[in-house]
Amino acid sequence: MAAEVSPRAKIWLGVASVPIILYTLLPIGWILSLSLKSSGSITDRAYASLNKKAWSWENYRYILTGAGGSLFRPALVNSIVICLIATVVGVGLSTFAAYGIARLDFPGKRLILNTALLTAFFPAISIVTPLFNLWRSIGLYNTTLGLIIPYLSLTLPISIWTLTAFFRQIPWEMEQAAQVDGATSWQAFRKVVFPLAAPGVFTVAIISFFTAWNDFVYAISLSSTTGSTAPHFTGSQTVPAVLGFFQGPSQFIPPTGYVAAAAVIVTVPVVILVLFFQKRIVAGLTAGAVKG
Amino acid sequence: MSTIQLKHITKVYGDGFKAVTDVNIDVGDGEFLILVGPSGSGKSTVLRMIVGLEDISSGDLLIGGERVNDKAPRDRNLSMVFQNYALYPHLTVFENIAFPLRLHKNRQSNDEINRLVNEVADVLELKEHLQRKPANLSGGQRQRVAMGRAIIRQADAFLFDEPLSNLDAKLRGQMRTEIARLQRRLGITTVYVTHDQTEAMTLGDRVALLRRGVLQQVASPRELYEQPVNLFVAGFIGSPPMNFLPATVHEGKLQMPFVDVDIPPAIASRLTDGELMVVGVRPEAFEDASMLDESRRASGATFQAPIDVTEWLGNEKYAYVPFEPHPDVQAALDELDRELDGEAMRTQLVASIDSKSKIRPGETSELWVDTSAMHVFDPKTGENLTRDEAAAQQIAEENEAERLRQLKQSKPVGDDKVAV
C-alpha cells in the first residue's frame, strides 16, 4: 500500500518537516523554559540558559510542596480520578454499544447512531449553563460524578462511531466459528472479537482520556473548589480550572512561572500514555484471518 | 459420530424469499455427503441450518436421532470449516487448533491438550508451524489449520463450506485428496458444500443436487452421471457437459440434427408422433467412426457432421459441431444454461473422440454415437424418460456396500491407536 519513496524525496521530506517540528515545539520549549526560570528573570524575554546549574526549581517546589501545593495536588488527584473513571466507563459502554450496533439488526439502529452524532454537534458552551443549574438543584455541582457525566457525553458519540467501524471490520465468520467451536456468545466476544478490536479500543481510550484531561469549559463551570482545603473539604476542580484561576502567592507577582511548571507536570502523563499505547495501536492485526 | 436427518427442511427469509424448499436428506453414520448446485441454489443455507447459524423455518433436523432445531450451535457438537477459514488471527496455530478444547476448561488438562494438538498437527503436517500466526501461513497451511481446529474435538460431524474455493487449482487438487483421505481415515459423518462438480464427484459417497432450493436428486456420483432424474441433473454433472439435442418423434424414430435413431423400446409407448423431445448424449458417447471396428460400429449410429473446431488434450480430443436448434427447445435449453451459470454463445455439440483421430477442423467427418447411452428428456417437465430405476438401485447398493467396507477401516482422532 505504502508508495515507494525515493531517497532523494526522503531527504526533501525531512528538510520540509523541520520548520513544522520547530513550529510545534517552540511553545512547548518556551513553557519548559519559563518553568525553569526564577521569578526575577521571568520577564527577560530569553530562553532559560542551557546550563543546568542556572535552572531554578523554585516554581516546581512551590507548586508541588510549597504553598501552591495545597491547591495543585488535590486538583491533580481530581483530574486523574475523574479522567480515569470517565475513560473506563466510556470505553466499556461504547464497546458494548458499538458491538450491538455492528452485529445486531434491530429497529432504530440508525436512529441511535445519528442521535449519537447529533449530540456531539452541540457546542459545550450551549449545554454548560443549563447543566450548571441542573447540577446545583440535584446536588451534583462540584462533585466528581458531576464532571464524569458531561465527559461521557463528550466522548461516547465519537467512541461509539469509531468502535462500530472497528467491529464491522471483523469478519462475522470469526465469531460464528467460535460459536461452532463451542463458545457462548460472551466467550466468543471475549476471546475472539474483543482481542481483534483491541487497537480500536485503545485508540478510543486515549481519545477519551485526552478529551477529559484537556477539558476547561465544564471544569470551570461545574466545579468551584479542589476539595481537601479548609473550609471546603469536597470539590472536584481539575488542573485546567485551577490553573485558570491561579493567582500565586502575591497579586504583585504574576504567577507565570508557577503556571508554566504546572503545565509541564500535566503534560507528562499525556506523553507517557502516548508512548505506552503507541505499540498497542497496531493496525492490521486482522491480517491473515481470512484469505486476503 | 452420528447420523444427520433433514426432514422437510424449509427456509423462508424475512422478506418472504424461499431459499430452501422441503429438503429431505438422510446422511448415514460416517457418510460423506456433498451438497452441490449452482450459485443461489441454497446449498450453503442448508449447511448453515445444520450447524445452527441459520434458523430453520419449518421441518425437523435430527442429529443422532435427536431433534436439534432449537439448539445453539455450540450445543450441537458439530465442527465446521469455513470458506475463508475464519482462523483467529491473534492466536498462534497451536492456540487456534486448541481453541475448541480451551473453551471447556475443566474438561482436559494442559498436558492432554498438548498431546491432542500435537497429534492433530502430525496428521496435518503442521508440526513446524505450531508457534506461527495465521498471517504468516500460506493458503494451504491455513486451510489445514482450519481442518485441525475442526477435527481436534470429538465432534459428531464435520461440515465444510466450500473449503477449497480460495485455493489455486493445483493446491485445490491436493487438498481435495487430503480431505478425502482424512474423512476416510476418521470415518466421521461429513457434509460438504461445493459448487464444483469435480469435487462433488470425487469426494462424496453420495451427492445431493439442489436447484433453487429444491432437492433434485440424492445419489452416488455414478448414479447421477449414468441415471440422472432430469435435464438439470444431467446438465450439471459432467465436464464437458452433456449435449442436448432437439428431437422430433416421427414413425418410431427420433429425428435429431445430423442423425435419426430408433426410439428406445422402453419409452416408445410414452411418445406420440410429432412430439418434440430433448435427447441428451454425453460427449464420450461419440467417437470418430473411422477409429472403430465393425462390431462396435454396428452398436450405434454413424452420421456426417461438419467439424467446426477441435481441441487436442493428449489423452482425448474434443470436436465441436455447431447446429441450429429447434426454436421450441431453444427456450428450455437457454433457461437451463442460465441456471447452470453458463454463457453459451452458440448451440454446439461436443464430441470426445480418440486423441489419435485424424478429424480436422473445417471438414465434414463421419462420427459415431452410442445410441444405448442416450437419454430422452421431456422438454416441458425436464423429466428423464429413459432413467432405469433397476440399474439406479443396483448402483446405489454397490456404492453403499463399498462405503461400509471403507468405514470399517477408519479410526477417529483421540484413539491412542492412531497410525501416523
* Contact flag A286-B78 (C-beta cutoff 8 Å): no
- The pLDDT of A274-288, averaged and rounded, is 58
Residues B19-29, buried b or exposed e (16+ Cβ, 10 A)? bbbebebebbb
Whole-number average pLDDT of chain B: 86
Q: How confident is the model at residue B291 (pLDDT cuts 50, 70, 90)?
A: confident
pLDDT digits (tens, 9 = 90+) for B136-163: 888 888 888 998 898 888 888 999 998 8
| Minimum CA–CA partner of B73 in chain A | A180
Cell of B181: 483421505
Please answer whether residues A151 and A78 qualify as being in contact, where contact means their C-beta atoms are separated by less than 8 angstroms.
no
Checking if the pLDDT of B305 tops 70, the result is yes
- Classify the C-alpha dihedral B325-B330-B332-B338 as positive or negative: positive
User: In order of start, what are the domains of chain A with their CATH numbers?
Assistant: 17-56 (no CATH), 69-278 (1.10.3720.10)
- The pLDDT of A129-144, averaged and rounded, is 91
Q: What is the pLDDT of residue A121?
A: 82
Integer angstrom CA distances of residue B188 from A259, B28, B161, B177: 74, 10, 16, 16
Cell of B9: 427442511
Checking if the pLDDT of B341 tops 60, the result is yes
Q: What percent of chain A has pLDDT over 70?
A: 91
Checking if the pLDDT of B418 tops 80, the result is no
Q: How confident is the model at residue B86 (pLDDT cuts 50, 70, 90)?
A: confident
Checking if the pLDDT of A282 tops 70, the result is no
Checking if the pLDDT of A169 tops 50, the result is yes
- Residue of A183, A195, A196 lying closest to B74 (CB–CB): A183
Which residues of chain B have a CB within 8 Å of the CB of A290? 84-87
The DSSP code sequence of B29-82 is: TT-EEEEE-STTSSHHHHHHHHHTSS--SEEEEEETTEE-TTS-GGGTTEEEE-
Cβ contacts of A97 within 8 Å, gap of 6 or more: A112, A156, A160, A163
- The pLDDT of B393-415, averaged and rounded, is 80
With H, G, I as helix, E, B as strand and everything else as coil, classify residue B149.
Answer: helix
Question: What interhelical angle do A109-121 and A144-169 show, nearest 10?
Answer: 130
Query: With helix as H, strand as E and coil as C, how does A67-109 read?
Result: CCHHHHHHHHHHHHHHHHHHHHHHHHHHHHHHHHHHHCCCCCH
Checking if the pLDDT of B174 tops 80, the result is yes
* Contact flag A176-B53 (C-beta cutoff 8 Å): yes
Q: How confident is the model at residue B8 (pLDDT cuts 50, 70, 90)?
A: very high
Q: What percent of chain B has pLDDT over 70?
A: 95
Q: What is the pLDDT of residue B167?
A: 82
Check if A173 contacts B (Cβ < 8 Å). yes
| Minimum CA–CA partner of A292 in chain B | B84
Comparison of pLDDT for A253 and A117, the residue scoring more: A117
Closest CA to B187 of B6, B415, B420: B415
pLDDT digits (tens, 9 = 90+) for B191-208: 999 988 888 888 889 999
With H, G, I as helix, E, B as strand and everything else as coil, classify residue B275.
Answer: coil
| ipTM of the prediction | 0.78
pLDDT digits (tens, 9 = 90+) for B29-72: 889 999 998 888 889 999 999 999 889 999 999 998 889 888 88
Q: What percent of chain A has pLDDT over 90?
A: 21
With H, G, I as helix, E, B as strand and everything else as coil, classify residue B349.
Answer: strand
Cis peptide before A107 (omega within 30 of 0): no
Q: What is the pLDDT of residue A4?
A: 67
Checking if the pLDDT of A288 tops 60, the result is no
Tell me the residues of B at the A interface, defined by beta carbons under 8 Å apart: 51-53, 72-74, 77-80, 82-90, 99-100, 103-104, 133-137, 139, 142, 149, 153, 166
Checking if the pLDDT of A229 tops 70, the result is no
Distance separating alpha carbons of residues B197 and A209, to the nearest angstrom: 57
Neighbours of B167 (CB within 10 A): 19
Q: How confident is the model at residue B411 (pLDDT cuts 50, 70, 90)?
A: low
Length of chain B: 420
Closest CA to A92 of A163, A151, A171, A154: A163
Check if A282 contacts B (Cβ < 8 Å). no
Which residues of chain B have a CB within 8 Å of the CB of A181? 74, 79, 99-100, 103, 149, 153
Q: What is the pLDDT of residue B10?
A: 92
Task: Tell me how close the Cα of A272 comes to any Cα of chain B, in angstroms.
Answer: 26
Beta-ladder partners of B67: B62
User: In order of start, what are the domains of chain B with their CATH numbers?
Assistant: 4-226 (3.40.50.300), 233-385 (no CATH)
Whole-number average pLDDT of chain A: 84
Length of chain A: 292
Checking if the pLDDT of B416 tops 50, the result is no
- The pLDDT of A191-205, averaged and rounded, is 86
Checking if the pLDDT of A289 tops 60, the result is no
Cell of A163: 468502535
Checking if the pLDDT of A35 tops 80, the result is yes
Half-sphere exposure of A263 (CA within 13 A, CB side): 19
Which residues of chain A have a CB within 8 Å of the CB of B149? 177, 181
Distance separating alpha carbons of residues B367 and B304, to the nearest angstrom: 6
- The pLDDT of A214-235, averaged and rounded, is 77
> For residue B189, which phi and psi values (nearest 5 degrees)?
-50, 130
Q: How confident is the model at residue B217 (pLDDT cuts 50, 70, 90)?
A: very high
* Contact flag A177-B80 (C-beta cutoff 8 Å): yes
* Contact flag A173-B149 (C-beta cutoff 8 Å): no
Distance separating alpha carbons of residues A29 and B283, to the nearest angstrom: 84
Cis peptide before A150 (omega within 30 of 0): no
Distance separating alpha carbons of residues B237 and B40, to the nearest angstrom: 17
